[in-house]
Structure formats: C-alpha cells, structure tokens
Structure 1
Amino acid sequence: MSTEFTIPGATGPGTQPTEPDGQALDYMEMPREMATFDLPIAPEPEDTEGMEAGKAKLNELAAGLAAYKVGKPAFVLELGDLEPADLGLVNQILGEGEVSMVSGVNIQVQEAVFAGVWRVLHFDAKGVIKRDTIEVAEWPDAVRDQVFANAATTCALAEDPLPPSVFNAPSLLSEIAERVADYKPGDGAHSINLSLLPHTEEDLKYLADKLGVGSTIVLSRGYGNCRVSSTQTKNVWWVQYYNAQDTVILNSIEIINVPEVVCAAQEDIDDSAERLAEIMEIYK
C-alpha cells in the first residue's frame, strides 16, 4: 500500500514560478488523454490490522462530510500525526478525483474521488511538506484565503497610445473594470466569451498584461479538460476548455470569487458522505 501522494499535472514545466517573487507562473501542461474516475478499491479488513489510527481518521472524515454545508468554513483534518501505514490507508481510500490545484509555491491540492474532499499539501520555502491536511468544502479554504490576497481591487484600463494590432482589448477592460467594481460576494458570474468576440493575439496579450498573471491554477479533467487561472485582479479568472486534441474550444474571462466548475455542490458532498460511510462499514 503506497504512502506517497502525488498531484497529477501539478509538477513539471510551467507549474512553478520562475521568478523569486513568485509572480511569473506559467500554465501547467494539459493531460493528453481523457481521464475517468472510479471508486477506490478498499483493502480487505484483514489487510488493515494495526491501522486503527487511519480508520479513525477516515471515520472522522465521514462524520465531517455528513455534517458539512456549503458556504460554511471548511472542515479540516490534520494528517501529519499518522504513521506511514495509516497514511497509506487514507491515500488508498481517498483516491484521486478530477480536480487538482496549484496555488503559489506553497500549496498543492488534489480532490479525492469523493467530491468536496480535498487533500491539501502545504510546503515551506524549501519545498518541504510542512502540513498535510484534508479539507471538506466546496473548494479549499487554504486556496481561497490566498488566491486574491495581494490582487489589485480595481482593473487597469487601456492606455493611449495602444500597441500595434490592439483593437478590442480597451472595451473589454472597461467592461471588466465595471464588473469588478460592482461585484459583491454571492453574485453570479459575469462571463465574457472571448471565443465569440473578434480579437487579435495582441488583444489577448494586452488583456493578460493588464489583468496580470495570478499564482493559482486549477485543472479539471474528465469529459474534456478545463483550466482555470487566477489573475492579479481580484475576482477575475481565465477559464479555458480544451478538446481531446488539446485545442482551446472555449476561452473566457469570468468575474466571480471562484468559477462554478471548480466547486463541489452540496448534493455532491452529500453523496460523498454516503459513499464514504458505506466503505467504512466494512471496517466496523
């Protein structure tokens, strides 16, 4: 039973900042194949003898899942006190779901096969894991707390004169600035579908420069791939969908605290609670 925990797509070229200030974060490489997800294969009860701490942690997780309501602070479990065998059991039961995240240089997240259950690794400045947790939430509080902590609260507007071949970016920046100024927590997303609007490559580069490149990247895999990237402008995200050939089929900007594609719904969390409780029945 492996005790290692990795985040698919969260390492390799483009996933870590290249500048000391952590700002120049490129995009993570997209998977080449569509991923499918199944329930983990639970070990037989006789194979978990001596792993009482791991089973206790999973039962605590099941109780937290059953009680959790979307919109509340995350239910957090610390895993740093588990022995390798117990941690291996937790890893095996949780499995790997379809959403992974990188936030700055210090947080990596992998959703479990149970929607709304997030494995969160916290790293120190040297890249060593300093905290290992599970969060039950619509999306992890650890990421929520830092994604826009240092972001601009207003959107930069276009300047005169414009660079060559920049035509439609100024009007888009004006729209984004208005929506950012008006946004209140709980508001629905305002989406700007760039795929349906006329623009040049220079327009997109100008937009990216004015919005800034954020340090949080979310990759959702499943029936196609979706990459969600924060900007350095508060509540502004790039949302891109790819087909099986890694071609962008939808490119949009969303103004919201977190895009819906990232979040687990209450019914998903309730279902996760039922499924985990069923699995843990065999260990009683």
Structure 2
Amino acid sequence: MHKFPDIPIVEIGPGSQATVEDEGLDYMAMPSEMDTYHQPILPEPEDTANLDAGKRKLAELLDAMRAWQNDHQTRAVGLDGLDAANLDFVNQALGEGEVSVACDGPSPIRAQESVLAGVWRVQHFDANERIVRDGIEIGDVPDIVRNTAFAGADTALDIACDTDDPGLQNAPAVLVELADRIAAYHPGDALHAVNLSLLPLSDSDIMLIGERLGVGPVTMLSRGYGNCRIGSTARRNTWWIKYFNSQDGLILNTIEVVDVPPVARAAPEDIADSIERLDEILELYR
C-alpha cells in the first residue's frame, strides 16, 4: 500500500501565532526635528563702536524689506563696500536659515536664506570660485531661481518609448502627462504635480523619465522636517522634488510643473515677520 507522507503539525488558533506586540511595528522613520527661528548671537552694543557701516547696511536692508511688494520682484542691497569687520557683523545678524540655492555654470551663484525668512545672502563667483559680487536680496526666492533655472530650457518633451522593453511600466504614461502639462503651462497657472511615490515604477521607468527631463542648473535644499531637495530640469517650469526623513530615507518623490515650487518660497507673512525681527535686532544698537 502507498504510504502517505508525514504531515507536519502546525499550531493554530488563538495564541498560536506571533502577535503584533511580539514582533513590534516596523515603521518608516519620519522626520522628527524642525528648524525654528533663533535670534542670532550678536555683539554687545558697547563692542560695536567701529561697526557703524554694518549698522547702516542693516538699516538699509530694513528699509528695502519694508518697500518690498509681493510681485515676484526682489529688492537688492549690495555688500561690496563693507570691510571685513562690518561684513562679519552683517553676517552675524543674518545668520543661516532653512533654504539654500546653488546655480551651476561658468559663473556659479550661491544663495543662502538668512534666519530672516525671505532675506537671501547671494554671492556670484567667477570660474575660479572667487567672489565677484556680494549682496542681499529680499523676495520669496532669489532672482537666480526665476531668471536662471530655465534659461534656454525646452518646452518639448520626447515621449517616444521602446514598447519592447520589459522593464518599462508607467514611464510612457507619465511622459505623456508631463508633455501635455509642460506645453500648456503659463506663469501663474496652478501647480501640477505627478506623485511618483504612488506609482508602480521600475528602475527603467525612473531612468527613462530622468533622461527625458534632463538636469537643469538650479538646485535648492530646504531643511525643516527632514530635507527637501529640489532640482530644476531641462524642461521649462519642471522641477524634480524629493522629500527625505531625518535618516535620509526617501519618503516622497514628485515632479512639479510650476514656475517656482511653493515649498521653496517665503510667504509674504514670513517677510512681514522678518521685518519685525530685524527691527528688534537694530533696536539693540539705536
């Protein structure tokens, strides 16, 4: 007679399986820290007798901030005439905020938001990384973001795909959607976002989308809850934005069709608060 194989005995019923409490929950680590405003550490008034030029420059900055209007036009305050001590005093007062901007090219530009939201420290460099222009700008973003990010960028997006590539899943549909939105976009239109994190995308999909969009000259990093890294592409008004948690794990991956991503912009209310804060700083030296 044929002998049946042994059947393993497996416990079933309540208490036979590991519980959630036994295993523990394996949550993705979410951002846990946020940068907040801290008034910069400044010298005592009695130690600033030789820093009148720096004080005047900060007063000039305050006037420019009050004159700023929410029309996407920045106001500029030059710093080229200050000596090292006065420039250091201005730098101390401004501090370093959440958003930094880099524009690559033959003449690189770097911008750093100060602790005063909407106040940007902007430096222009030559090919040898020497500073050729140094100043401050007031605005939702520094000029280089609007003036440089898509200079020479194309609105046409190649959507042709190799349908025989077994690795492609959703890239063709994403490219068609982006091509339509990029071609139709006009400054001031509402943002259109493609959330790549919600789509089943293969490595081949991501590589093809990246290849077709290309890489632009402007990169922004916004620090708050984790990091947000924003890169211009070679297609007009198109940004690739990645959000990371505090362990540098990717938690959101999006492409946005918009002139400037809202996450990178200082709001008018932020600049109004910055006016009050700079006025408080200057009050120490009046």
Amino acid at match of 1:198: P
Q: What is the aligned partner in structure 2 of residue 189 from structure 1? A: 191
In 2, distance between residues paired with 1:175 and 1:109?
Answer: 33
Q: What is the aligned partner in structure 2 of residue 127 from structure 1? A: 129
Q: What is the aligned partner in structure 1 of residue 152 from structure 2? A: 150
Q: What is the aligned partner in structure 2 of residue 249 from structure 1? A: 251
Report the count of equivalent residues.
253
| CA drift at 1:281 | 1.2
Structure 1 contact 51–89 (Cα < 8 Å) conserved = yes
Q: Which runs of 5+ in 2 are unaligned?
A: 1-30
| CA drift at 1:34 | 4.9
> Could you tell me the percent identity over the aligned residues?
49
Larger Rg: 2
Q: Secondary structure at the match of 2:156?
A: coil
Give yes or no for the alignment of 1:57 onto 2:54.
Answer: no
| CA drift at 1:190 | 0.3
In 2, distance between residues paired with 1:34 and 1:219?
Answer: 16
In 1, distance between residues paired with 2:258 and 2:176?
Answer: 16
In 2, distance between residues paired with 1:35 and 1:129?
Answer: 32
Amino acid at match of 1:111: E
Q: Secondary structure at the match of 2:217?
A: strand
Structure 2 contact 193–256 (Cα < 8 Å) conserved = yes
Change (3 A) 1:164 1:189: same
In 2, distance between residues paired with 1:244 and 1:282?
Answer: 36
In 2, distance between residues paired with 1:69 and 1:56?
Answer: 22
Q: Deviations over 1:53-103 (max 9, x none)?
A: 111110011111122122242100111110001100000000000001111
Q: TM-score, normalised by structure 2?
A: 0.85
Q: What is the aligned partner in structure 2 of residue 19 from structure 1? A: none
Structure 1 contact 78–133 (Cα < 8 Å) conserved = yes
| CA drift at 1:161 | 4.7
Q: What is the aligned partner in structure 1 of residue 77 from structure 2? A: 77
Task: Tell me which moved more, 112-121 or 136-145.
Answer: 136-145
Change (3 A) 1:163 1:77: farther
Q: What is the aligned partner in structure 2 of residue 15 from structure 1? A: none
In 1, distance between residues paired with 2:164 and 2:77?
Answer: 51
What is the CA RMSD across the aligned residues, in angstroms? 1.6
Q: What is the aligned partner in structure 1 of residue 91 from structure 2? A: 91
Q: Secondary structure at the match of 1:154?
A: coil
Structure 2 contact 169–200 (Cα < 8 Å) conserved = no
Pick aligned residue for 1:225 from 227, 230, 235: 227
Amino acid at match of 2:199: L
Task: Tell me which moved more, 136-145 or 112-121.
Answer: 136-145
What is the correspondence of 1:1-284 to structure 2 with a 5 Å cutoff? 34=33, 36-37=35-36, 38-105=38-105, 106-161=108-163, 163-284=165-286
Structure 1 contact 34–221 (Cα < 8 Å) conserved = no
| CA drift at 1:150 | 1.8
Structure 2 contact 228–241 (Cα < 8 Å) conserved = yes
Q: Secondary structure at the match of 1:214?
A: coil
Q: TM-score, normalised by structure 1?
A: 0.85
Q: Deviations over 1:177-228 (max 9, x none)?
A: 1101111111121001100111101100100000001121111112111111
Structure 1 contact 158–169 (Cα < 8 Å) conserved = no
Structure 1 contact 107–143 (Cα < 8 Å) conserved = no
